[in-house]
Structure 1
């Protein structure tokens, strides 16, 4: 995401000249910190190419809302919606056993109140009270609907990691429509493409053996580090590298060895239901977007057997999860 004279260019959505309030918020410390918070948690430690940041995603959500006609208030809220994410993103939810993966939501108000954000908003005539995600239908919708947050992380990850092409993204964006507070797709073909892409993200990528292993390993390390007072809960307000540096400085043998294995890629992970070290289920994330079909809106699954089957397969995989055997190097 590049900025020149209030103009921000994004790989997916193009270049936009932004209002001063948005520019000042983007350049503020809380948003800049997100450059060091990876979207995928610990996975970048085992695959450096899995490195999309919360900063890229947050600006992307803002720009997608703008593209779809959302108000300045909704763009501000989209930009700031992830500002309370801690180091390694959702890893804190595993460490604290938050099944709803909502720790960043629990601390959102406190994060905003203790930052420069209210002063910036007030400078331009806005109140922090505008920052209620549920007030904006483009930004946030419950599953199985589309929303800017869900759309951006799916398209951004899958494009960055080479699963989908730029041309495919642009063709899909052309099919997105907002009308009468409804966000929908104009053709069943594009709806099918997005559903397929979404499950490549939330099933194939989220449950990729290396992704699951890295999160499980770092979760164990961080739980121990908290228990032994090597790190504190407040340390999670740093970025990934800051928290990682504290772990690297530890003299605890389990922590030192675990970090070494993660960083040196000295393990092999394979799926094995009969002999496994890790079993991870995915949070249930089923998508069934609204689609225009024969002049009216329908759930995509009601007009597409392919989407019905994609949803059945995703449900089965999410409920079953993955069983992983970890093989550590003898070296």
Structure 2
């Protein structure tokens, strides 16, 4: 699911935060969370289908098409891919109209904008960080303090909400959005754009699989592309605003979950001034991007 993995060596710093799971496993995980919180059948089906339009190499396509701070390139194709697949016919055989599961924004347990928590955000966080900064026991404990309320997921305990939010922030700093991540994604995107310009691959190829596209890149005879493939795993970076090769950005991920107090919902940042200040500093720091000097090992 982390689209850079094929381009890196097994001992690369990123791979310690990337258990090998795919979007099918993630989607099943989202479905199981939705079932746990007793959502409608339609929302569970939407959870299984929510990532069907993702391209090869995951969010690297966002860097190819200038959506690196949004990570939403795949969404423009979601309905088209869904409608043109065999899925509508399968659903119809079970008495379900595909239109009832297509509007993901209608399903508030499944998907919500940052800084809310949702099944999608929770599952990819758990999967990508398991045995890196969190454990199975930690996950079980967090789930004990989550419940569905008014079409959204909320915490019932302030300490659990704070712990989750801070671990999520740590995941962003160490994996989802940092100088090395943004640089590696930028360089892989440059490689893909060059391969498309040279007709080694096409945009349609991006809607196949990581392995199919990588195989085409690896087996091509173009010296420039092969050189880039050799260099990408060796990239390391130093941040330096006064002497840099690139200014790169990536999507900044964070949460400010709601906590249920009686029948009222209150955000963590409204309860914890310390977390509010920490979050403001975090957003300011990471939103400006990274000024990096590239070092090739």
Query: TM-score of the superposition, structure 2-length normalised?
Result: 0.90
Residue 325, structure 1, aligned to residue 293, structure 2: yes
Looking at structure 2, the residues matched to 182 and 295 of structure 1 have their Cα atoms a distance apart, in angstroms, of: 14
Residue 279, structure 1, aligned to residue 247, structure 2: yes
Query: Which structure has the higher relative contact order (CA within 8 Å, separation 6+)?
Result: 2
Aligned to 1:195: 165
Give the drift of 1:75.
0.8
Aligned to 1:114: 84
Aligned to 2:27: 58
Looking at structure 1, the residues matched to 180 and 149 of structure 2 have their Cα atoms a distance apart, in angstroms, of: 41
Looking at structure 1, the residues matched to 179 and 5 of structure 2 have their Cα atoms a distance apart, in angstroms, of: 10
Aligned to 1:165: 135
Give the drift of 1:236.
0.5
Aligned to 1:41: 3
Looking at structure 2, the residues matched to 282 and 267 of structure 1 have their Cα atoms a distance apart, in angstroms, of: 17
Contact 2:259 2:268 in 1 (8 A): yes
For residues 293-326 of structure 1, the C-alpha deviation after alignment (integer angstroms, 9 at most, x for no partner) is: 4663211111112320231122122222222222
Q: Secondary structure at the match of 1:140?
A: coil
Give the drift of 1:158.
1.4
Looking at structure 1, the residues matched to 72 and 120 of structure 2 have their Cα atoms a distance apart, in angstroms, of: 15
Aligned to 2:283: 315
Aligned to 2:238: 270
Q: Secondary structure at the match of 2:292?
A: strand
For residues 67-105 of structure 1, the C-alpha deviation after alignment (integer angstroms, 9 at most, x for no partner) is: 111122111100110011000111112111135332211
Alignment map for 1:83-102 (pairs within 5 Å)? 83-98=52-67, 100-102=70-72
Aligned residues: 288
2:45 to 73, 76, 91: 76
- Unpaired runs of 5+ in structure 1? 1-37
RMSD of aligned alpha carbons: 1.9
Larger mean Cα displacement after TM superposition, 274-283 or 110-119? 274-283
Aligned to 1:150: 121
Give the drift of 1:283.
2.5
- Structure 1 residues 300 and 128: alpha-carbon distance in aligned structure 2, compared to 1, 3 A threshold: same
Q: Secondary structure at the match of 2:130?
A: helix
Alignment map for 1:185-264 (pairs within 5 Å)? 185-262=155-232
Give the drift of 1:44.
5.1
- Structure 1 residues 300 and 126: alpha-carbon distance in aligned structure 2, compared to 1, 3 A threshold: same
- Unpaired runs of 5+ in structure 2? none
Looking at structure 2, the residues matched to 295 and 120 of structure 1 have their Cα atoms a distance apart, in angstroms, of: 40
Give the drift of 1:280.
2.0
Looking at structure 1, the residues matched to 31 and 226 of structure 2 have their Cα atoms a distance apart, in angstroms, of: 39
Residue 128, structure 1, aligned to residue 98, structure 2: yes
